Amino acid sequence: MAILLDEYREWNTPVVGAYLLWRFSVGYVNANPRHTPPPFLLHCVVTALLRGRAYPNAIDHSLSLHAFATRLVKDGYADKLETLHDKVKSFLGYTLQAADMAVYRRMLTWDAENASLVPLKIGKMKRGTAELSKSVQRIGSRAERLGKWMGPLELSTIALDLGVKF
């Protein structure tokens, strides 16, 4: 029960979401051949992936987005991919709050022309992030890994692998 309570506390604050969106964006920009920031739609997908219970093991044990999707199917979680689009929609409000917090904390900035969130260099971690729990740090690593996987891919490839619609 204590684990569920900790998870509830961690996820019910947009500050954690802001950190995760920033880590995803950094991974994406570093892996993207043109170093362009990720479109906001991908932030919504990543929030849903990071909040799902079936996804972390597949993220931790895969080497690419395609391998991740394949692993979910092989492990009997094909239904989790089929419902991912609905999960993205259900977490939209949280993702918007997290993005707003990230912009407020100067971790990300909006590029309205391209509908994307640009990660800002924050040097040393902002005050208070040293106190992030091990589980949030672990989720942050997963967020960055997802960014590295998605960075070199086209949106159509990501949509095909994950079964989401853009």
Domain count along the chain: 1
Question: Which of these, 97, 93, 110, lies nearest to 18 by C-alpha position?
Answer: 97
119 part of a folded domain: yes
Helix/strand/coil for 116:
strand
How far apart, in whole angstroms, are the C-alpha atoms of residue 59 and residue 65?
8
95 part of a folded domain: yes
Q: What range defines the domain where residue 50 resides?
A: 14-162
9 part of a folded domain: no
C-alpha of 17 from chain center: 9
7 part of a folded domain: no
How far apart, in whole angstroms, are the C-alpha atoms of residue 135 and residue 16?
11
pLDDT tens, 23-51? 999 999 999 999 999 999 999 999 999 98
Q: How far is CA 66 from CA 71, 150, 157, in A?
A: 9, 10, 9
81: confidence class by pLDDT, cuts 50, 70, 90: confident
pLDDT tens, 109-128? 999 999 999 999 876 555 55
How far apart, in whole angstroms, are the C-alpha atoms of residue 4 and residue 106?
30
Helices marked H in the chain: 2-11, 14-31, 40-51, 55-60, 65-74, 78-82, 84-90, 92-104, 134-150, 155-162
89 part of a folded domain: yes
